[in-house]
A and B are shown apart, each in its own frame.
Chain A
Amino acid sequence: MHKQRRLPGCRTGAVWLGGLASWLMASMVQAGEKLHDPARGWDHLWNEVLVDITVIGIVFAIIAAYFVIRYRRTSPGQQGSATGLSAAAAVAWVVIPGFVFLADDLYIAAQGWSLWNTYRDVPADRLEVTLESGMYSWDYTYANGVRTQNELIVPAGKPVMLKMHSRDTIHSHYLPDFRVKEDSMPGRVTYLWFLPKEAGKEHLVTCTEYCGVMHSYMAGKVIVKTEAEFKTWLDQETAKLGNKAKMT
């Protein structure tokens, strides 16, 4: 008797790997086309990953529970009866699970990368607003110089991009309804974007980086208006700004 040197699964493995790669590419392209709204993409990917981890968890839990019940000690002094693994089996028990885990990792990574690109590629037809955070307020400045504090007023249906920095400690501008946050800090400009959809709605803004004693009170809101309402509001504020400029 002699042990076979070559692992029988090698060629099949290569075929599988090729198939997996092309499937990954296909699913990435598909995901990229589907998602124009990061928040929706987030919910989609979260659900997918949740199914993935739930299945893995249940499989492991059932196997462990089965072993625990099936192999409980029935008489004192009883010993386990597992025999050692052959060299080939030991290698297979590394290569096969390793391959499965790695495949799952790469699948999730591909989906995650695709969604990441949605989060980071800001659509061109956007509203850009500058945010300066400080202890303890969110100060927004629109392109024409209009300023608001703790209230970000935006039109429905238009992507909003925040260019952020901080005047003191690190803060993090979190929009739970839009599934996005990014830190703002001194010395760097960071950005995020989101897509407000429904006019008449308000969304919470909250701070998620410990910034000082009043951290938990550092709240604001995003107020979504219709395109027309938003224009009226911005014109009014711009006029006020003009009047002020004339007076001084």
Chain B
Amino acid sequence: MNIKEWIFTTDHKRVGILYLIGSIAAFVVAGIMAGLMRAELSAIGPTVTANPTTYNVWLYAHGAIMILGFQIPALTGFFANYCIPLMIGAKDVAFPRVNALSVWLFYVGVILALLTFVIPDPPDVLWTGYPPYSTITTGNTAFYTFTVLTLGFASIIGGVNFLTTVVYMRAPGITWNKLNIFVWCILGAFVMQLIFVPVLGSAVTLISFDKYLGTHFFDPANGGDVLTYQNLFWFYSHPAVYVIFLPYIGVVFEIVATFAKNHVFNYKAAVYGGVGGIVLISGEVWIHHLYVSGMPDWLRIGQMVSTLMISVPVGLLVISLVGTLYKGAISFETPMLYALGVVFLFLIGGLTGIPLAVTALTLNLSETYYVVGHFHYVMAVAGTFAIFGGVYYWFPKMTGKMYSEFWGKTGFWVTFVGVNAVFWVMMDIGVKIGLPRRYYDYAQFPEALQSQQIMSMGAAVIAVGAAITILNWIIGAIQGPKAGNNPWGSQSFEWTTVSPPPHGNWPSPPSAAESWNPYAYGKR
């Protein structure tokens, strides 16, 4: 294997694998940050560090790197790159060189984020970067701005590329209503990225203008308004939740259909109602992040209704997903365990979001551990389980080899126990005593000690589970047994070529038969 070939590659599969390697590295770094925080919180008072700023830098790095360096690049970088051309029978993406640019921009962004640990005045503005704090802190807010801009730009050019690819490069016979659900989910996610990322870009740029160039966009003493930033920020960052949610639920659909050997239940409802509905509503719910920020009353009530209505498209997706199990022939290899794990975690995470949609309930719940527990269930943990499951599912396709089922399942169960120990307890303590998030020390809440210690132990369990999983991939990729071209017996188009697929994917341009469908199992 030639390093130069990888650096100058324009092959979508290699670009995808580069995204995967970078995002897993980011996951490890951000996970270590979580571990440091859990260690700090395992006792009241200073534990690991006596400096609250150090803790805040961990907190910043954990959030920013997990979201911008791990989940979004793994889902819209790795899975989209690797799977979409294969799923639609294309030889590559529409603009392979632009694609290579996007992955290297992503690496620049990750390196900028990692510089947090070596520069003397690291950013301490959390992943939200709210002014006035971000404009008056001695921390280096410019790093925050440039990290977000770089990763955002990488994502936008990815979006242009994939929309073009799916519209123009489908093989003959692969029509819109025969696209994999995952492809639809990626289309939805990138439509949202293209609409909303520029808004985030302007928000974080204006902060650095205020801080370094002396402008007053967010300075009320000079005619600015601090809340403008929060509106712009969440106008992107709530849809960002769906930019993560859609691809991960898409991955889960692929796994569930393959391991249940069944049609997707009510495909059109999932695609047009579920994916389409989420894209439509995604831009009208951001105020639920500003329920306690002094927005006008009518706006807080209006967006309570729109936020609750998200349950309709999400409910349609869940019905399709659970319905796909009906009359299936289900087997339980590692990818399927993860997919079913996502269903469980998402049920808890999604339903605990309903109280947070209700403005009046949020007056008590917001900014507590309840919120943190909720969004870890619904986005962080469910999303990560989908990523892990997806990597296992396409592992034989990428490497031509098989991982160890035993260690795959062991890693799943260990992680599953760990995440529930952490995040269930987190929601519980948040609602019981109102323990606030982003606290370096909780001396005011001594009754939280026991819960904090359970969470810290749970975090250690997660670390063991994640280590087993990542090692299982590395060892499987090096010395796993040969897997064959289609070990799961999937009908989806990516399994019709050899594993791993050659440059160009198929020896000659493929086409899909009239009877072909990615979910054509059993009798028709």
A binding-site residues for B, Cβ under 8 Å: 38, 41-42, 45-46, 49-50, 52-54, 56-57, 60-61, 63-64, 67-68, 71-74, 77-85, 90, 93-94, 97-98, 101-102, 104-106, 108-109, 111-113, 115-116, 118-120, 168-170, 172, 174, 176, 179-183, 185-188, 190, 192, 204, 206-217, 219
Q: Which residue from B224, B266, B351, B441 sits with its C-beta under 8 Å from A93?
A: B266
What does the 1/0 interface line of B77-89 toward A look like (CB < 8 Å)?
0000000000000
Q: Which chain B positions have C-beta within 8 A of A212?
A: 133, 137
- Contacts A56-B351, A79-B522, A216-B52 given; does A169 touch B136 at CB 8 Å: yes
The chain A residue with its CB closest to the CB of B489 is A77
The chain A residue with its CB closest to the CB of B139 is A213
Q: Which residue from B293, B318, B361, B523 sits with its C-beta under 8 Å from A42?
A: B361
Would A57 and B347 count as touching, CB distance under 8 A? Answer: yes
Would B325 and A102 count as touching, CB distance under 8 A? Answer: no
Would B325 and A73 count as touching, CB distance under 8 A? Answer: no
Task: List 4 tightest A-B contacts by C-beta distance, closest first.
Answer: A187-B220, A80-B262, A176-B434, A216-B439
Q: Which chain B positions have C-beta within 8 A of A42?
A: 360-361, 363-364
What does the 1/0 interface line of B348-364 toward A look like (CB < 8 Å)?
10011011011111011
Minimum Cβ distance to chain B for residue A115 (Å): 4
Q: Which chain B positions have C-beta within 8 A of A183?
A: 292-294
Q: Which residue from A38, A116, A192, A217 sits with its C-beta under 8 Å from B359?
A: A116
Q: Is B119 an interface residue (CB 8 A)?
A: no
What does the 1/0 interface line of B423-461 toward A look like (CB < 8 Å)?
000000001011011111111100000000000000000
Would A215 and B438 count as touching, CB distance under 8 A? Answer: yes
Would A49 and B433 count as touching, CB distance under 8 A? Answer: no
Q: Which residue from B269, B443, B524 sits with its C-beta under 8 Å from A217?
A: B443
Would B294 and A188 count as touching, CB distance under 8 A? Answer: yes
* A-B residue pairs in contact (CB < 8 Å), sample of 22: A46-B355, A54-B351, A71-B329, A80-B262, A80-B521, A84-B524, A98-B315, A101-B312, A108-B357, A116-B300, A119-B360, A168-B136, A170-B133, A174-B367, A179-B364, A182-B292, A186-B226, A188-B226, A207-B436, A208-B366, A216-B440, A216-B441
Size category of the binding interface on chain B:
35 or more
Would B328 and A80 count as touching, CB distance under 8 A? Answer: yes
The chain B residue with its CB closest to the CB of A220 is B444
Minimum Cβ distance to chain B for residue A71 (Å): 5
Would B226 and A105 count as touching, CB distance under 8 A? Answer: no
What does the 1/0 interface line of B39-57 toward A look like (CB < 8 Å)?
0000000000000110010
> In the bound complex, what is the Cα–Cα distance between A217 and B443 (angstroms)?
8
B binding-site residues for A, Cβ under 8 Å: 52-53, 56, 124, 126, 128, 130, 132-133, 136-137, 220-221, 224-227, 260-263, 265-266, 268-269, 273, 292-294, 297, 300-301, 304-305, 308-309, 311-312, 315-316, 318-319, 322-323, 325-332, 340, 343-344, 347-348, 351-352, 354-355, 357-361, 363-364, 366-368, 431, 433-434, 436-444, 489, 521-524
Q: Which chain B positions have C-beta within 8 A of A214?
A: 52
The chain A residue with its CB closest to the CB of B124 is A213
Q: Which residue from B128, B311, B326, B434 sits with its C-beta under 8 Å from A71?
A: B326
Q: Which chain A positions have C-beta within 8 A of B269?
A: 90, 93-94
Q: Which chain B positions have C-beta within 8 A of A172?
A: 292, 367
Q: Which chain B positions have C-beta within 8 A of A186?
A: 132, 220-221, 226
Residue from A42, A83, A174, A192 whose CB has the most chain B CB atoms within 10 Å: A174
Would B262 and A105 count as touching, CB distance under 8 A? Answer: no
Q: Which residue from A60, A61, A112 sits with its C-beta under 8 Å from B361?
A: A112
Q: Which residue from A67, A77, A93, A188 sits with its C-beta under 8 Å from B227?
A: A188
- Contacts A85-B266, A115-B360, A209-B367 given; does A72 touch B332 at CB 8 Å: yes
The chain B residue with its CB closest to the CB of A217 is B441
9 further interface pairs, Cβ-Cβ under 8 Å (given A174-B367, A206-B436)? A42-B360, A60-B347, A80-B263, A170-B133, A170-B226, A186-B132, A210-B128, A215-B438, A216-B438
- Contacts A71-B325, A185-B227, A213-B52 given; does A78 touch B444 at CB 8 Å: no
Minimum Cβ distance to chain B for residue A231 (Å): 30
Minimum Cβ distance to chain B for residue A53 (Å): 4
> In the bound complex, what is the Cα–Cα distance between A56 and B355 (angstroms)?
13
Would B261 and A113 count as touching, CB distance under 8 A? Answer: no
Minimum Cβ distance to chain A for residue B143 (Å): 18
> In the bound complex, what is the Cα–Cα distance between A193 and B2 (angstroms)?
67
